[in-house]
Amino acid sequence: MVLFAFWGRVSTEDNQDPASSRNWQLARSKALVEPRGGVIVAEFFDVDKSRSIPPQRRPEAAALLAELRNPHRGFDAVVVGEPQRAFYGNQFGNTFELFNHYGVQLWVPEVGGPIDPVNEAHELIMLMFGGISKGERNRIRIRVRTTMEAQAKIEGRFLGGRPPYGYRLVDAGPHPNPSKAADGKRLHRLEPDPLTAPIVGRIFWEFLHGQGLYLIAEGLTREDIPSPSAYDKARNRHRSGIAWSKSAVRAILLNPRYTGRQVWNKQHKQEELLDVNDVTQGHVTKLKWNTQDQWVWSDTVVHEPLIDTESFQRATLLLSANGRPATERKPRSTRRPYIFRGLLRCDVCTRRMEGTWNNGRAHYRCKFPVEYALANKIEHPRTVYVREDHIVAELDPWICQVFAPANVKRTVEKLLDVQNNEVDRAAIHAAEKAIDDCDRRMIRYRSTIDAGGDPQEVGKWMAETRAERLQAEGRMRTITRTHEITEKEVKEMIPKATEMVRILQRADPVDKNDLYTQMGLHLVYNPSERVVLVEARPSMYQSACPRGDLNPHAP
């Protein structure tokens, strides 16, 4: 008898619920291995992960590849229900060598059994399916983009995202796609918000009558009018919302949707290599701003305008008068690397400090009063500065001291204590409760079918419940795998960490930033005491988007 691990994947591009996708992939795998005496004893199934992400960066696939190194892994071979689910582009060539190296067979239905590493036909088949997978994704992307462009230009449809400040979302009827309408999804449109729409009109009026951005922000803050982030706190928990900023006023003045037309394609997603020195790591997707000539405007006015087109054009021209065109955003420059990029905050306002280069040295500064209207809301120095080399001079020796041989025992004890303290008991309990609830619901659904209930309707409920259970199981595995660490493993990590800190002094700033980020370092600068407080808070769990659901479909 051969013991198998099942490897599968489903993403949001598939328009399938995770339970159904897993079931047919698993059934296809069983049909391949069971007639040959195989038994599936383990599963590695990624949910909501794009095929373009390399297996090494998918949680479940990465766990499978890590298990290949374990001589007590519990399975002898791996079976894939569909190769397009596991491999994209040239991912097969970058991954299969691991299976071959550790002597673990990889079975796929398309070759009728295990892939033979010396069979050229097998390799060509797998590379072909990788190309098919890439082509399929590209076709989907082109179709979706073309459809959205037509919906914005011809139909003027609201395509998701948060409503601009001054508007709110209201129901616009059922979704025109029958299957989506059956799922309860509905269209939305923009409607003036009675509380914030007058503020937008005021901002345009004051700007067109000679007031500057800062003066407008100061007046709004003085009158305790909530800023966009303060008005929508549920989606802006990462912002203080203490005052209006010049950038918030500027963003309102440059938003063409206040003219009543729908505007789409102000940004686009661009895939960039994660590591230019290691292309096998794949790409990351980043949002880039498009120039105004690439924007897609609706042919007609589709929602009630807050300002007229002439006023919007005048405001745009005024903002363009003192520099580059206001409608174009210059790409951010990263010519100078900063060791503490994204890690250092100001203790007064809690905002991230920005890097700046002065007198041939890297500094970090916070100019809160220059950007935000104060109106006696907070006492903040006009500019807060701190030199990078002063922080490094104290931080690196401290890190080296922690991992010094004489402190190994105490460091091990602290790491184990932190591990025990950071286990999210509430998350584990919630996942267990969700699994139990799903099991109880499945029992009730089966009873309903036995009692003569509609199999089609009940089957839909069962599919949704299976998907919920799979997600809960995935959360449980993520938590337990994150904290499966023993004292022996910690001691084995110490020499590696010791060697790592030895190169801190001569390391490249970008590499040091990656290292500090992985260590979970958080630095806070107190300008009055001229002290930097440092904490190490490793990130154990993936957090939800702080802005919440940006694409509401159902009420």
Q: Residues 451-460: pLDDT tens digits?
A: 877 776 777 7
Say if 268 falls within a structural domain.
no
Tell me the torsion sign for CA atoms 199, 204, 209, 212: positive
Quick check: 363 and 385 in contact, CB under 8 A? yes
- Domain check: are 237 and 376 in the same one? no
- Domain hosting 409: range is 336-419+486-555
Say if 383 falls within a structural domain.
yes
- Domain check: are 241 and 192 in the same one? yes
More confident residue, 230 or 322: 230
- Domain check: are 26 and 84 in the same one? yes
- Domain check: are 114 and 34 in the same one? yes
- Domain check: are 83 and 129 in the same one? yes
Say if 506 falls within a structural domain.
yes
Asked which of 108-112, 471-475, 541-545 is least confident by mean pLDDT, the reply is 541-545
Dist. CA 132–CA 150, nearest whole Å = 27
Dist. CA 115–CA 168, nearest whole Å = 55
- Domain check: are 28 and 129 in the same one? yes
- The count of other CB atoms within 10 Å of the CB of residue 232 is 18
Kindly tell me if the per-residue pLDDT of 375 is higher than 70.
Answer: no
Dist. CA 221–CA 376, nearest whole Å = 9
Please tell me whether the overall predicted TM-score, pTM, comes out greater than 0.85 for this model. Answer: no
Dist. CA 206–CA 411, nearest whole Å = 60
Kindly tell me if the per-residue pLDDT of 32 is higher than 80.
Answer: yes
Average pLDDT over residues 276-293: 81
Q: What percent of the chain has pLDDT over 90?
A: 23
Number of domains present in the structure of the chain = 4
Dist. CA 100–CA 107, nearest whole Å = 12
Strand arrangement of the beta sheet that strand 105-108 belongs to: 38-47, 2-10, 77-80, 105-108, 113-114
∠ CA 287-288-291, nearest 5°, is 145
- Domain check: are 370 and 494 in the same one? yes
Which uninterrupted H or E stretch holds 357?
strand 354-358
Question: What is the CATH number for 74?
Answer: 3.40.50.1390
- Domain check: are 31 and 105 in the same one? yes
- Domain check: are 247 and 384 in the same one? no
In the chain, the amino acid numbered 403 is F
Q: How confident is the model at residue 418 (pLDDT cuts 50, 70, 90)?
A: low
Say if 292 falls within a structural domain.
no
Q: Which of 471, 466, 404, 410 is closest to 439 using CA atoms?
A: 466
- Domain check: are 406 and 429 in the same one? no
Say if 286 falls within a structural domain.
no
Question: What is the CATH number for 201?
Answer: 3.90.1750.20
DSSP codes, 222-285: HTTPPPHHHHTGGG-TTS---S-BHHHHHHHHT-GGGGT--EE-SEEEEEEES-TT-GGG-EEE
| Residue ranges in 483-532 assigned as alpha helix (H) | 487-502, 509-518
The dihedrals phi and psi of 305, each to the nearest 5 degrees, come to -75, 150
- Domain check: are 392 and 506 in the same one? yes
More confident residue, 479 or 266: 266
- Domain check: are 24 and 78 in the same one? yes
* Total number of residues shown for the chain: 555
For 134-182, how does the pLDDT look when each residue is reduced to its tens digit (9 = 90+)? 888 888 889 988 999 999 999 999 988 889 999 999 998 888 888 778 8
Say if 199 falls within a structural domain.
yes
For 56-93, how does the pLDDT look when each residue is reduced to its tens digit (9 = 90+)? 888 899 989 988 988 888 889 999 998 888 888 888 88
Q: What is the pLDDT of residue 548?
A: 42
pLDDT averaged over the chain?
Answer: 81
Average pLDDT over residues 468-486: 63
Say if 146 falls within a structural domain.
no
For 491-539, how does the pLDDT look when each residue is reduced to its tens digit (9 = 90+)? 555 555 555 556 666 677 777 787 788 777 888 999 888 898 988 665 4
Say if 153 falls within a structural domain.
no
Q: What percent of the chain has pLDDT over 70?
A: 80
